[in-house]
């Protein structure tokens, strides 16, 4: 029962974040619209993946697509926090560069029919690096004095935890598979569920910070 619940966390966790967003949509900054889009796409892709898996239909190509979508959306969001721009030169450099490597990986290394370990490892590395830049920038601002009240702190923390754990999982999984130790590889993969749950829990916590912020502003106006 618990295992079945964990297996579908990639579907119901983004759905819960969507519910939180919709309940607080009036007080949430428009900047977070990209987070809503990310949660909706995560829910759709993994809901379809779950259906295909339950019917024993090949679904690994969806993970290739998800890595590309996730990299573009999350890098755009984090770079917006860092640079103040949605479409910076760095964003286009990352998006175009990753897209080219993503295509090359499918053509020459990992077929669309295989698990996308290479593109996933590259994606998590890039996002992890961007998350660390965000926190370094935050540490130099006055906002660090009340960081626990910042929605973006919790949201980016979710990405940081998710990418750090996922990177270790993907590298371990790839290592075990390459050395023919399949059983060990299977024991590592369930940790991914923990990473996914942590990501969306922290995203939801970040969105809930807007409720407190909105309540404080409302009281000041009374």
Q: pLDDT digits over 113-146, tens only?
A: 888 889 999 999 999 999 999 999 999 888 877 7
Ramachandran region, residue 139 (left: φ > 0; alpha: ψ -120 to 50; beta: rest): alpha
- Angle in degrees, CA 14, 19, 24, rounded to 5: 125
**196 near 16, Cβ under 8 Å?**
no
pTM of the model: 0.90
Ramachandran region, residue 141 (left: φ > 0; alpha: ψ -120 to 50; beta: rest): beta
209 has pLDDT over 80: yes
Ramachandran region, residue 132 (left: φ > 0; alpha: ψ -120 to 50; beta: rest): alpha
173 lies in some domain: yes
219 lies in some domain: no
Domains identified in the chain, total number = 1
Which pLDDT does position 124 carry in this prediction? 96
150 Cα distance to chain centroid: 18
Three-class DSSP labels, 50-102: HHHHHCCCCCCHHHHHHHHHHHHHHHHHHHHHHHCCCCCHHHHHHHHHHHHHH
Q: Which of 88-102, 143-157, 172-186, 205-219 has the lowest mean pLDDT?
A: 205-219
186 has pLDDT over 60: yes
Question: Token match 């959306």: residue?
Answer: 73
pLDDT digits (tens, 9 = 90+) for 30-53: 989 999 999 999 999 999 998 998
124 lies in some domain: yes
Q: Work out the number of other CB atoms within 10 angstroms of the CB of residue 155.
A: 25
- Structural domain that includes position 207: 2-214
56 lies in some domain: yes
222 lies in some domain: no
Which pLDDT does position 101 carry in this prediction? 96
221 lies in some domain: no
Residue 34 tokens, joined: 């990209």
Percent of the chain at pLDDT > 90 equals 61
221 has pLDDT over 60: no
Which pLDDT does position 219 carry in this prediction? 30
220 lies in some domain: no
95 lies in some domain: yes
């Amino acid at each position: 029962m618990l295992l079945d619940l964990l297996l579908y966390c990639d579907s119901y966790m983004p759905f819960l974040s969507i519910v939180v967003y919709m309940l607080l949509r009036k007080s949430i900054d428009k900047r977070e619209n990209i987070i809503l889009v990310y949660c909706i796409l995560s829910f759709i892709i993994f809901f379809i993946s779950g259906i295909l898996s339950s019917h024993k239909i090949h679904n690994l190509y969806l993970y290739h697509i998800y890595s590309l979508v996730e990299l573009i959306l999350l890098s755009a969001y984090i770079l917006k926090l860092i640079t103040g721009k949605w479409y910076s030169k760095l964003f286009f450099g990352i998006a175009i560069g990753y897209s080219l490597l993503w295509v090359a990986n499918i053509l020459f290394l990992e077929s669309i029919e295989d698990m996308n370990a290479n593109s996933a490892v590259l994606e998590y590395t890039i996002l992890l690096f961007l998350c660390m830049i965000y926190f370094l920038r935050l540490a130099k601002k006055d906002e660090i004095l009340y960081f626990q009240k910042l929605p973006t702190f919790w949201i980016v923390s979710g990405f940081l935890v998710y990418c750090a754990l996922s990177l270790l999982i993907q590298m371990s999984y790839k290592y075990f598979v390459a050395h023919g130790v399949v059983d060990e590889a299977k024991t590592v993969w369930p940790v991914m569920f923990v990473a996914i749950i942590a990501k969306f829990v922290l995203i939801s916590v970040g969105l809930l910070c807007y409720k407190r912020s909105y309540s404080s502003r409302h009281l000041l106006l009374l």
